[in-house]
Each structure stands twice: as structure tokens, then as C-alpha cells.
Amino acid sequence: MRTGIANLPLHHGRAPRWLFERMRALSREILRIVVEEYGPHEVLRRLSDPFWFQAFGCLLGFDWHSSGLTTTVCGAIKEGLRGLERDLGLFACGGKGRTSLNTPLEIESKGDDLDGDVEGLKYASRMVAKIDNAALQDGYRLYHHFFIFTGDGTWAVIQQGLNEDTGYARRYHWLSEGLGDLFSEPHKAICCDRRAKALNLVARESEGTRSLLAELSRERPERVLRDLSKVLHLPRRHSIGPCDVDPRRLYTILLSTYERQPRSFRELFETRGVGPKTLRALALIGELIYGVEPSWRDPARYSFAHGGKDGHPYPVEREVYDRSIEILRDAARRAKVDRTEKIRALRRLESWTSSRS
């Protein structure tokens, strides 16, 4: 399920190499300890919590209010897990920009180490990205997609979109554990600093619209376009305008859906070519012709703040940072040894008990 959304001001530039290497090393030790103590699934639960992720980024020394926290922390996690994937049972794919497009290939490359369904993981990656781009139209264009999963196919997603008009980025968190309907209120907690009006087709209130959109997609294109022509002169207050609708392009898409006859919103959504503008046009018809109103509720609710890279609340102290990494490494090493000794002791006790009986 989508577990959260965070809004962050867009910052340009990159993390300095000296900081990124420390972030990679510290995140490696923290995740190693979490897996040792609680298992790999707990890592997914924590990363999918937008508050924990934000605090984690601050702990790694990144500035709390930067869009770069998302991309840099995910990059540090991916690099930190390199070489430990089989031992920890955690696999990270994707990233920023063009790197995100390689996610399906990266998932396939790890197939020999998985008990889960590789095609199912690829499908989840693709659908989560499309939902936050097309089913939730909040003005943010995705440019970062980070997909992390366990050997049994449980996954989490952290992705981020850009609003060029406001200069803000928005982060979306997902978790497959407990996932029900991808298209009905899939988030547990949502965090951001700014809210606006958004076409939210995955809101509970949009259930009627989702059913109507599937029904409209099975109609002959001529009929749908005839209805559309009635609503192209819109009241000033409406957030969809004629520029959002290209009748010729829409005809091509509707011809495809008419031939396919999707039985549900999910099947409509999976259809190649059905994107934000097609869904907006059909939602517009549903609202103004059939009186079925979709949700315009932006799911953002909370904000948060910590400190870090840009000197707030104080500059990163490299010696302290390095000491933290060493402490965690030692703790992880000792925990592993302690656990091994405990297992040996229990076996000795079991052996002694068996010999006495």
C-alpha cells in the first residue's frame, strides 16, 4: 500500500563525495543491524514509513528540507547493500532519472536469488509508478523510483515527483505487506508541507468514478466523444480545461479499450496508452454528464522537520560520523558472535539433556 507522501523543496547539486561515502557506510551498518535483530521485512516497513525515512536521512547527515534527501539516501542504501544482498535477503533496484528505467532489468538480474515471482515484482514496480503519475494527478512528475524487496517477493517503493511551477518535490512511499486493492485508498500515512487540489482516482470517494470509467471505456468511441463535446465549454472554476483533451488522441485510445472491453478499472488502467489525460477526460465526462464526481482531495496531511548537511542545526562533524560507523560495525559484529555462541550453548544443552534421558 502507499504508506506516505512527503513534500520537499527542490534543491540542485549533489552530495559531496566525502559525505556520500559515509552515508553509504553508516546506512550499511544500520540496515545490517535491523536485519540481524528484526529480519529483512522490518527494513521495508521502516523505509516505507515517511517519518522514519526522513529521520534516517537526517541521521545520515542530509538536510531535512531538501528533495535531495530522497535520492541521496536511496542511493546510499543501494550502494550500502551491494555485496550483502544474499546475506541480508534485501535487494535494491532503480534510482533517479534514467536509472529508474532500468528497474525491470535489475529485478530480472536478481532472479536467481529470489523465491518470489519476478514478473510480479516487475508488474508492481510498473503499476506503482503509473498510479502516482496517472491515478493521483497532483501536479508532480515522477523522476525517481527506488524499488527494494526481499527474497520472498515482499517489496517497498520510494519514489519522488517534481512540480516545476512551485519548485517542490513530493515523495511517495509504498509497502506490499498487507496490500489490498491497489486502487482504493492504498496509503496509511501521508506527509507533506503543501496541499492543492488533485484528481485522486485512488481515493475511497472515487469508487463510483472508477466503475464508470471502466464502463465508458467499453463504449464505442463515437458515443464517448459525443458526450465529451458537450462539456468542452467548462465553468471557470473547473480544474480540467479543453487543453487537457485531444479528441483525436482520445479516439485512438478509446478504440483500443473498446476492442479490449476491460471489465474493471484495473484492466482499463493496465491498458497501454491509458494515461493521465485519458483518465482526466473520462473523469470529466463522468462528473459533468453522469453526475459521478471523483475525489479532488490531495492526500497530503502532515509536515515534519529535522536537521543536517547544509549546516542546520549544525554542520556534519566527520570524526563523530566515522566514530558512529565504527560503533555500529562493532555492535553488529558482537551481536553476530553473541548469537552464534547462544546457539552453540543451546545445542550443547540439548545434547546434554538428551544424553541424560
- Do 258 and 220 form a contact (C-beta atoms < 8 A)? yes
The set of cell numbers assigned to 10 is: 527542490
The set of cell numbers assigned to 201 is: 482516482
Cα-atom radius of gyration of the chain, to the nearest Å?
Answer: 24
How do the domains of the chain map onto residue ranges?
Answer: 2-195+299-316, 204-288
* Residue 172 CB contacts under 8 Å (≥ 6 apart), including other chains: 2, 4, 5, 132, 157, 158, 159, 160, 161
Q: How far apart are CA 14 and CA 63, in angstroms?
A: 12
Placement of cell 527494494 in the chain: 148
* Residue 60 CB contacts under 8 Å (≥ 6 apart), including other chains: 22, 23, 26, 27, 73, 76
The set of cell numbers assigned to 123 is: 508488474
Q: What would the pLDDT profile of 277-311 be if each residue is shown by its tens digit?
A: 899 889 988 988 888 999 988 876 443 332 344 55
User: How big is the CA angle at 79 (ends 129 and 66), to the nearest 5 degrees?
Assistant: 60
SS3 state at 220: coil
DSSP symbols for 62-96: --TT-THHHHHHHHHHHHHHTTTHHHHTEEEEEEE
Share of the chain above pLDDT 90, in %: 44
Placement of cell 491498458 in the chain: 271
User: How big is the CA angle at 215 (ends 211 and 221), to the nearest 5 degrees?
Assistant: 145
Q: How far apart are CA 62 and CA 76, in angstroms?
A: 11
Beta bridge partners of 141: 162
Residue 148 backbone zone (phi > 0: left; psi -120 to 50: alpha; other: beta)? beta
Q: What are phi and psi of 299, to 5 degrees?
A: -75, 10
pTM: 0.78
pLDDT band at 313 (very low <50, low <70, confident <90, very high): very low
Mean pLDDT of 201-217: 94
- Do 216 and 264 form a contact (C-beta atoms < 8 A)? no
Poorest-pLDDT segment among 148-157, 182-191, 345-354: 345-354
pLDDT band at 150 (very low <50, low <70, confident <90, very high): very high
Q: What would the pLDDT profile of 33-75 be if each residue is shown by its tens digit?
A: 889 888 999 999 989 888 788 878 878 876 555 678 889 999 9
pLDDT band at 211 (very low <50, low <70, confident <90, very high): very high
Q: How far apart are CA 197 and CA 237, in angstroms?
A: 12
- Do 71 and 144 form a contact (C-beta atoms < 8 A)? yes
Q: At what angle do helices 247-260 and 276-288 cross, to 10 degrees?
A: 90
Q: Is the pLDDT of residue 186 over 90?
A: no
The dihedral through the CA atoms of 247, 250, 251, 252 has a sign that is positive
Cα dihedral value 197, 205, 287, 211, nearest 10 = 130
User: How big is the CA angle at 346 (ends 345 and 350), to the nearest 5 degrees?
Assistant: 120
